[in-house]
Amino acid sequence: MIETDEQLAIAQNAIQALQKVLLASRKVHTPVEYRAMSEPILLELQQREQDILAYLSCTETEIRVGR
């Protein structure tokens, strides 16, 4: 769960890093290998993106009082 703007920036940077891993992996792995190795990374991306959306959907007051 993201609770600060600093944590938001960390999550955004993590998403970029994971996307770079996937882009590079597509170039060196077979389609079968890529699908197998990318699945957990894609799930992680999805979770981080959901966390970001949840944080951005809250007001400052909601964040301060713990939503």
For residue 52, give both structure tokens.
């970001």
- Token couple for 7: 């944590």
% of the chain at pLDDT higher than 90: 85
pTM assigned to the model: 0.84
The pLDDT value recorded for residue 60 is 84
Whose structure tokens read 């955004």?
12
pLDDT at position 67, please? 58
- For residue 21, the Cα-to-chain-centroid distance in whole angstroms is 13
Q: Is the pLDDT of residue 64 over 80?
A: no
Q: Shortest CA distance to 18 belongs to which of 47, 37, 41? A: 41
What would the pLDDT profile of 16-37 be if each residue is shown by its tens digit?
999 999 999 999 999 999 999 9
